[in-house]
Amino acid sequence: MSRTNFEQLLEAGCHFGHLRRKWNPAMAPYIFMERNGIHIIDLNQTVAAIDQAAEVLKRMARDGKKILFVGTKKQLKELVAQKVSAVGMPYVIERWPGGMLTNFPTIRKAVKKMATIDKLTQDGTYSNLSKREILQITRQRAKLEKNLGSIADLSRLPAALFVIDVLKENIAVREANRLGIPVFAIVDTNSDPSNIDYIIPANDDATKSVDAILTACCDAIAEGLAERKAEKGDEAAADDEAQAEKAEKPRRERIRKVAKKEETLDEAPAAQEAPAAEAAEAPATEAPAEEAPAKPKRTRKAAAPKAEGEAEA
């Protein structure tokens, strides 16, 4: 199901482009018509582009990746901060700090400096400083908070960049292109879409227009985060079950050994009684022994007849 519809975007004013004399010819495929010298954006393409971008953002959020939102226009600062902070993503609504992506380690040092100042406030070191030093540190902390406070939780480079007004945030887009970071952007008729990976053709000046698009994208990110949380809950339940099974296994082994030992003890008396019973039954059951054969009687041999010569003598 589509996250937005034609009527909703039409009511929000997403179809209004810039004057014809300010247009960028690369945006011609996304322009529906011209009326009173103003280009009208094709909202059918806008609806499809929002759905595509929302699905990709949802998948990134489900994988635990961070998307950096950039919107430094004065009329959009509060809107961007409100929508994006609700889903826990980093954002930049003040001046884009040059080198924020290409020189990210230096930006991280500034963020750590802000954390160090907070630590000084908590451990009591603040009270040992002079009023002048305290005032300087307080001003420095306020400046860091204004420019970098919204990216304090960004410990590594973001997985994607979401830009409102490509023309104004061209430095951020160039840095992302240099590092190979995919760029999502609301592109108006006066902008160049060639460096954008996910183009959302729409009015990037009207608050209602940006609100409609940001709402759809942030809702998709919230769904991705909810799915990630549910998956983690299932994994935790599976781990608990595995640990319980692991703890139960030794107990089962002990029960099996005890049962086997009792069975062995029960078999031992039976094994001792069996030979005694067999010995008692042996005389009755055994066949009479065979008589030994009688020895033959010795008989004297008859005297041999004397020779004739001896008889005559």
Model confidence pLDDT, tens digit, residues 175-233: 999 999 999 999 999 999 999 999 999 999 999 999 999 999 999 999 999 999 998 87
The two three-digit tokens of residue 156, written as one number: 């590594």
Same fold, 1-101+158-255 and 102-156: no
CATH placement of domain 1-101+158-255: 3.40.50.10490
Cα separation of 43 and 8, whole Å? 10
Cα separation of 72 and 92, whole Å? 7
Q: How far apart are the first and last CA of the chain?
A: 155
Q: How many CA atoms lie within 13 A of 313 on its CB side?
A: 5
What's the CATH fold of domain 102-156? Helix Hairpins (1.10.287)
Model confidence pLDDT, tens digit, residues 92-135: 998 898 889 999 999 999 888 888 888 888 887 777 888 888 88
Please report, for the chain, the start and end positions of each structural domain, with discontinuous segments joined by +. Answer: 1-101+158-255, 102-156
Q: What per-residue confidence (pLDDT) applies to 220? A: 93
166: Cβ contacts below 8 Å, ≥ 6 apart: 173, 185, 186, 187, 188, 191, 192, 193, 195, 196, 204
Whether residue 10 is predicted with pLDDT greater than 50 in this model: the reply is yes
- The reported pTM is 0.72
Average pLDDT, the chain: 83
Answer yes or no: are the C-beta atoms of 111 and 205 closer than 8 Å. Answer: no
Model confidence pLDDT, tens digit, residues 32-45: 999 888 999 999 99
Which residue from 190, 156, 163, 191 is spatially nearest to 177, judged by alpha carbons?
163
